[in-house]
């Protein structure tokens, strides 16, 4: 009878270690904000791909690896430091109170070290593509960590706009990794990302306004209410309308496709003034914004494929 008991104990220990590893991995992904990294890598790749298209260069796997890895590491570094800095307020919000900076599953000194190492490694990889790519990577990191996290997030309602500059950097990083001279189309990609972020995050802020209020973060719906926030969302979605036409060289199909994406988002934004359930409407806006980002940038890539 001793052997089965021993096997059972061994299996129990193995299961415990496996669960612990899963927990640490889950905490690590939460710490680096893997969702933000994934969405930004889509836009960084689109920037790189369009740079190849506009400069008639061939795809280089080494440049691709360095640019994507470097971008991911810089973003991860900024997100880790953001979590480390915000540990005193994250406990007040349901979506952040289980982060390892709050639960203590990862030591705070190790978290800060991870943020610094990830950032330095990411900038080095980007520098190996071009110095301009590393410069844009640093600028995005600096805006997110210093100007957004440390300076504006807890003081001003424009924190969303400030943070938008960092979120719009990945397309420029990807483009500069291939073409440091930067075609004007690169800055149109920057504008798309910069404008997109405000309605995206303000929709989230409406849904989570009470949590932001408890945490003392002056998001627009917390300070000025939902109606003012809806007006701002509408203004930004209107500003997106002309941008697809700057990509007329990619063909009529893409311009029409991107315009329809904009019109759809604008229609939902207008409907927000008629709909009584603000939380439900904000959920629609938030979900549409995620799909908009994916479809728009994937559409850019497809429009520039050799077979199209």
Which candidate, 276, 266, 210, 260, places its Cα nearest to that of 238? 266
| CATH number (domain holding residue 111) | 1.10.600
pLDDT tens digits for range 227-237:
999 999 999 99
Structure tokens at 55: 């400069």
In this structure, the number of other CB atoms found within 10 A of the CB of residue 304 comes to: 19
Q: Mean pLDDT across the chain, nearest whole number?
A: 93
pLDDT tens digits for range 15-24:
666 777 788 8
Question: How far apart, in whole angstroms, are the C-alpha atoms of residue 231 and residue 228?
Answer: 5
The pLDDT of residue 308 is: 46
Four-residue CA torsion sign, 128, 134, 135, 138: negative
Q: What angle do CA 234, 240, 236 make, to 5 degrees?
A: 30
The pLDDT of residue 1 is: 46
Q: Is residue 294 part of a domain?
A: yes
Q: Is residue 10 part of a domain?
A: no
Q: Is residue 17 part of a domain?
A: no
Q: Of all residues in the chain, what percent are helix, strand and coil, respectively (each to 5)? A: 80, 0, 20
Per-residue HEC secondary structure of 104-116 comes to CCCCHHHHHHHHH
The pLDDT of residue 142 is: 98
More confident residue, 92 or 290: 290
pLDDT at residue 2 tops 60 = no
Grade residue 13 by pLDDT with cuts at 50, 70 and 90: low
Read off the pLDDT of each residue in 56-73 and give the average, rounded to a whole number: 97
Grade residue 245 by pLDDT with cuts at 50, 70 and 90: very high
Q: Is residue 150 part of a domain?
A: yes
Q: Is residue 23 part of a domain?
A: no
In this structure, the number of other CB atoms found within 10 A of the CB of residue 211 comes to: 18
Q: Is residue 25 part of a domain?
A: no
Highest-confidence range of 23-32, 68-77, 96-105, by mean pLDDT?
Answer: 68-77
By CB atoms closer than 10 A (0-12, 13-18, 19+), residue 199 is buried
Question: How far apart, in whole angstroms, are the C-alpha atoms of residue 138 and residue 140?
Answer: 5
Which candidate, 99, 94, 197, places its Cα nearest to that of 143? 197
Grade residue 141 by pLDDT with cuts at 50, 70 and 90: very high
Question: How far apart, in whole angstroms, are the C-alpha atoms of residue 203 and residue 291?
Answer: 14
More confident residue, 287 or 12: 287
Four-residue CA torsion sign, 205, 41, 163, 89: positive
Give the percent of the chain with pLDDT over 70. 94
Q: Is residue 53 part of a domain?
A: yes
Given a contact cutoff of 8 angstroms between Cβ atoms, the answer to whether 152 and 134 are in contact is: no
Domain that holds residue 157: 30-303
Which candidate, 204, 94, 130, places its Cα nearest to that of 160? 204
Give how many domains the chain has, as a whole number: 1
How does DSSP classify residue 151?
Answer: I
pLDDT tens digits for range 102-133:
988 899 999 999 999 999 999 999 999 999 99
Question: How far apart, in whole angstroms, are the C-alpha atoms of residue 253 and residue 304?
Answer: 11
The pLDDT of residue 289 is: 97
Q: Is residue 235 part of a domain?
A: yes
């Amino acid at each position: 009878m001793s052997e089965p008991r021993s096997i059972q104990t061994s299996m129990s220990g193995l299961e415990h270690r496996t669960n612990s590893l899963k927990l640490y991995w889950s905490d690590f992904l939460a710490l680096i904000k893997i969702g933000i990294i994934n969405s930004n890598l889509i836009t960084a790749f689109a920037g790189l791909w369009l740079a190849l298209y506009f400069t008639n260069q061939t795809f280089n796997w080494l440049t691709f690896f360095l640019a994507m890895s470097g971008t991911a590491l810089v973003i991860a570094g900024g997100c880790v430091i953001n979590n480390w800095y915000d540990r005193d307020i994250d406990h007040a919000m349901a979506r952040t109170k289980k982060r390892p900076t709050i639960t203590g599953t990862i030591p705070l000194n190790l978290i800060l070290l991870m943020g610094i190492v990830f950032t330095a490694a990411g900038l080095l990889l980007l520098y190996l593509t071009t110095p301009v790519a590393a410069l844009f990577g640093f600028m995005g990191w600096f805006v997110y960590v210093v100007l957004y996290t440390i300076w504006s997030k807890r003081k001003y309602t424009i924190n969303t706009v400030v943070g938008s500059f960092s979120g719009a950097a990945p397309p420029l990083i990807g483009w500069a990794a291939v073409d440091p001279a930067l075609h004007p189309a690169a800055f149109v990609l920057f504008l798309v990302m910069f404008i997109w972020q405000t309605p995206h995050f303000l929709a989230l802020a409406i849904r989570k306004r009470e949590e932001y209020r408890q945490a003392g973060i002056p998001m627009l719906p917390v300070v000025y209410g939902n109606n003012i926030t809806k007006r701002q969302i509408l203004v930004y979605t209107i500003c997106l309308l002309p941008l697809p036409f700057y990509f007329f060289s990619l063909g009529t199909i893409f311009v029409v496709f991107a315009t329809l994406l904009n019109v759809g988002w604008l229609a939902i934004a207008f409907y927000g003034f008629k709909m009584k359930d603000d939380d439900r409407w904000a959920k629609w806006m938030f979900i549409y914004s995620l799909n908009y980002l994916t479809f728009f940038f994937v559409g850019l890539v497809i429009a520039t494929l050799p077979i199209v």
